[in-house]
Each structure stands twice: as C-alpha cells, then as structure tokens.
A and B are shown apart, each in its own frame.
Chain A
C-alpha cells in the first residue's frame, strides 16, 4: 500500500536539455550516500541506465522513467518505499520533464507527485541561440525520434514552439507558486559544478557537500558535432526498429566522421533568434530572477569556433560510408543474419 510523504519536499530538476544535466545527474548519483546523510534522497527508482543503449559514453537522462511511464502509480509507490523516514527531501532530476508534450498538461503531471507535501521546481535556462543548436544535435542522436530534417527545417518548424521559455514554463511556476519555482541561467553560472551547487542550496544542503560538483570525478561525454548530424540523419531515415542495432550503427557513424566540423547555425539564423527571444528573456529576467542575468539576455557574444571544415571529398566519403553501413544493416536485418 503506498505511503504518502506529506511532510516531505520534492525537488524536481526539470532540465533544460543541454544545460549540464548529465553532469549533474552523474554527480548526484555518485554522491548519493553523502546526500542521504543530509536527509536528501537521490533515488534509484525511476533512473534509466543508459550504458548499453547510449550512443556516447557518459550520457544519461536521470529519472526519465517518471516522465515516460504510462502509469506512474507503481513507480511512485516504489519511490515512497525507498525513502527512509529520515529523508525530508527527495531530489529527482530529468531533463525529459521539460520536453514539450501536447497531450500532457503540467498540472496532470504534477498531480502524480501529489504524495509530497511541497514541490519545488528547478529549471536551468540557456540562451536560445546556443541551446537550439545543441538540442537539435541531441535530438537527431536520440533513438525513436527518427529525425531527418536539416537544422534549418527543424528551426523553421519546431523552433517557434521551443524558444518561448516564458510560455512553456509559466504553467510550472503557476502550479508550484513563484516561491517554489527556481530558474537558473546556464549562461550566467561558471559551469556544471556551479549549477549543481545552486540546486543543492535549494534542496537545503549546507557545508562542504555543496561543492560536490567540483570535488567529484564524474565522466564527461563529448557532445554531438554538427558533422555527426549529417550521418545520423541518414541513419534515422532507415528507421531501424532494433534499438541495439541502431546504437551500434550510431557509434560506427561517430567513428567514421571526418575531422573538422560544418556550420549548422548561420549568422542570420542567430540574429533572427536573438531578435525574437530578447524581449522574452527580458521578461523572464524581470519575473523569474532576483539578480540580473545578462548572459540569458544575449548581452555577450558567443565564443566562435575555429575548426576547419572537412573537404568536399571527405564529406562524400563519409556519406558513402554511412549509407553503406546502413544498407548493410538493413539487408542483414531483413535476412535475419548478423549485423556489422
């Protein structure tokens, strides 16, 4: 029979994607025991182990099972059973909580966590011109999205729904109350360790444990490069249903990519994004932050990349190789044989 936790506070770290969430989740799960000693449970319930299924080492999505499960009641029961009586705070983290979903309203989602007395939400925002490109790369990489659109197509069609952070996340703030809604700016904090520290402060941690981020040796994974999306889009067009196969192929595609990188976001795209998002972010700064966040407001130029582009023949070779890999995999899958 499920227990309730009326006197317990739930801290929900909801993302965004590409704001050091994997880093934070790795730190917190590594220091789980230390957190328990402070009365904070970072549970194992709901955590998705991506070791086998991740295309890149170190990647994870925290307690994503709470987001994706059709029926969360069983999961909630497990979570409440895992909570020791001494743990007055439960900390869940998954960037998937902030994914836009048409048919699931935030209040229904929060109602599933109604076992807790108080819910606090932590959202880490990032300026949209940097965030969108990172998000796109990860989106192409993820299994199940079968994303084949070019970046400009993605920007045109999906961008308008993604960039207005105020509209997207006001429902969270409305439901938990402004005093329980904590917005942080990725662009105004000096890295994942600092973000982790802020989250722990919100959770009520004090003393040296606040600096677990800096003092914990956590795996770091390399981000998807722009050139990688070229190959991954081709892979996605094959719509392979076998996740295991797709993961292995993706790893091969990463290995096959040439040195250097290509440009996804043009200066005009960036400027257009900034023009639209500047007033939105100014409003967010005024309403959600108690200190100025110039980074979020595009006050500074983004650091430019200095990598060279691969040559034309290198790109052609790369595309050929990707297509060959995918064709062989499909043929093999159709024949029921072994995969490359």
Chain B
C-alpha cells in the first residue's frame, strides 16, 4: 500500500493503530483507582507524545541515516513555534497558515545553519550546531525581546494578546487555535464504567500529521536518496574519493530534519499558543538525541518510542509526590510505610531525572540498539522457544539496528 513493501506497510499500520487508539491504550486503569496515577491518556500528554514523535523521526533522518549528530535541533523547533504564534497574532487562530509558515521558516533557518555547520563533520559539526542553537536561544531570550524590537517576548514567551491585529479572524471563530472553526481544545470524554477516555481534536490532528510524517520518513529511508545518506554514514571519505560530492545530500537531510522539527514546533504552538525560549535551549536539543538513542537510532519506529518514553517520565513520574506514595503504601505498618516511602522518594517526583538516567544507562549498556533492539530480542526469544527442537537457526541472532 502507498508504494511500501509488506513489512513497511504493516509497520505503518501498527503506528496508525497505536496513535488512533492511544486514548484507550494510554488509559488502562480506571480513573478512580490508585493506579490512575500512571494513566497518560489526557490530551496534553498525548499531543506531546506525537509531536515529539515527529521531532524525533525527523531528527533520525539526519542522525540515524547520515550519522551527523546535531546538538542544535531544538533551535528549529523553537523557530517553528515562534513563526506559528506570529501567524496567530497577525492572521488568525487557524492552524494551517501557522504550521505551514513554521515548516518554511524552519527549513530556511536550517538551510542557513546547515550550510555553515556541514563544512565540518564529527564532533566539530556537533559543536557548531550546539553553538548556533545556544545563539538562537540567547537571541530569543533577551536580544530579540527588547521593548523596541520585540520579536520573541523573552522570558515570558510569545503569546497572543487581545489587541493583536489578527486580520483574518472571523467574528464567529473561536478565540483558541482551531482548524476552520474546530477548536484544538475540544475534547469528548467517553465514560465506560469506571474508565474515562479522552478524545481530543488537537490530538487527532497531530496524530494524522504524524502518520503522514512517518510515512514520508519510510519513503525517505527506502529511497535511493536514503541509501546515499547511509553511504555517507558508513564511509564518507570513500564516497568523496570516488568523485561524489556528499554535501548536497547531507545538506538536504539536514534541511528535511529541520523542517520536521519546525513542523513539530508549529504543532506545539497550535496545541498551546505560547512559544517559550526554553524550547530552544541545549537541554531540549539533548532531549531529542536521548529520545532517538533510547528508542533506537536509525530505526523507523525507535524515535517515536523513545519520545513517548521520555515524555511519559517527565509528565507522570514527576508528579508522584510523597503524599501519593503514602497513599499507596498505607496498608503497611507505620514504620515500614515511612521506610518504603523514604527509599522510593529520591526516584520519583523531582527525582524523575534520576530514574530516567538509570534507565537510559541500562538501555545503552544492555541494549545498544535501543528499545527496538529490546523488542527484537524479545521476539527472537519467543520465536526460539516456539521453534525449540526443530531448528536452531534464529537463536541468538540479533538484527542490526538499521
């Protein structure tokens, strides 16, 4: 289907099912149970899952295929967000012009940065992109937000005010981001017994965009262009010696992944019309690197899984406070309860970074291919159990990560 082979089609269908059924999958626990703490199926987090999924898929086109490790991708995300909010301020709350402009501006910006940074490879490239991203952050945070020329509104973040022009704003249009009148905020809550499932318009729009983005990524991975990018990763010098100029290919990959980042940034602003400078900071750039490596660099679905994993920790684990812990362990005798809570305390709430760090270490050490490798090993193990005694061909065989 859609010009994909059987394996890729089934992968696309799996992703489609996962995203479309996310409200069910992410809310497995009844909303009044103690386990409801672990439910992740509320609109904001689901939107974040798919938006960061897009961001990571795009990043993977650069990092996974060419091996160029950009440490400044958050800059494109931020530029996308700022462009989108400016569209809201100038035209209307309709998300189409906002997202389109976000992609275009991020593309131009990445063309500029890529043109300069790609003159170097390896660690020098990473440092150059990091430097550009930090420059963008500083510009957005203070330089471009002075009262005389306020492009970014600095620390407060760019937002839409009641006295903004909004030239195309229709009288009966909602005062929140919308798609031809369909508000991004509107949520339908389906209550089935003790379960509650949220179906949010904004989420489904992001989900559809992500499926398209994912499909494009598959096509790029399988195209001759993608093959050329892989060749750059395996031996760029050799390609140069054969008389092939690799720069246009790497630059194209850089711009494509920059546009993916811009798309993610634009969608982020469309879901929540505020663009803060922090999303350009180097920690945000590092986050997408983590997502990609955690999920499996160079694999198609890995970055999406990695993005979901990190966002889940950031939003769910960070909210488990001592009160919640005491609630869980209330059945234990007092002294023991306090003891157990003291043990767990450093790993949840404000300590979520610690838990994430430990898990990241374990993944990198034991599963260098990321979560995808974990899945493959599990599948291979199941298969070998089933085939035990018949043939031992598949045992211990690990698929390469890409």
Q: Do A and B come from one complex?
A: no
Report which A residues bind B (CB closer than 8 A): none
